[in-house]
Amino acid sequence: MHHVNQVMGQIGPANSGVPDGIYLTFASVFPPPITSAEDQARLVEDLKGAGLQAVPAGRFHMSRELAQEAINVLRFSIAQYDASIQQALQQKAAGEELRDDL
């Protein structure tokens, strides 16, 4: 399993005038450690113009139909996540012990 914090999508090249699908790239950008104010100032200067490199974790090609299904799955998963967070906040506000099975 890879942690990612960047995502990019592109339509594929046209084949007979129709895009050949959707390309998705998932990647991570790892910020440099900052241990002092001097480090921070130096790193800001070093990164100007150069930026940080995104390290690809996976590249995928899919049909328009599968991309829509992925969107549906993500929406459902996000709704479940949000409901779990809401339930945990309500339990915490009521002084209940948080459950591990959320």
Distance separating alpha carbons of residues 42 and 34, to the nearest angstrom? 10
Separation in Å, CA 60 to CA 4, 34, 65, 100: 14, 33, 14, 33
pLDDT in tens, 5-64: 999 999 998 888 888 899 999 999 988 888 888 888 888 888 887 788 899 999 999 999
pLDDT at 99: 64
Residue 101 has pLDDT above 70, yes or no: no
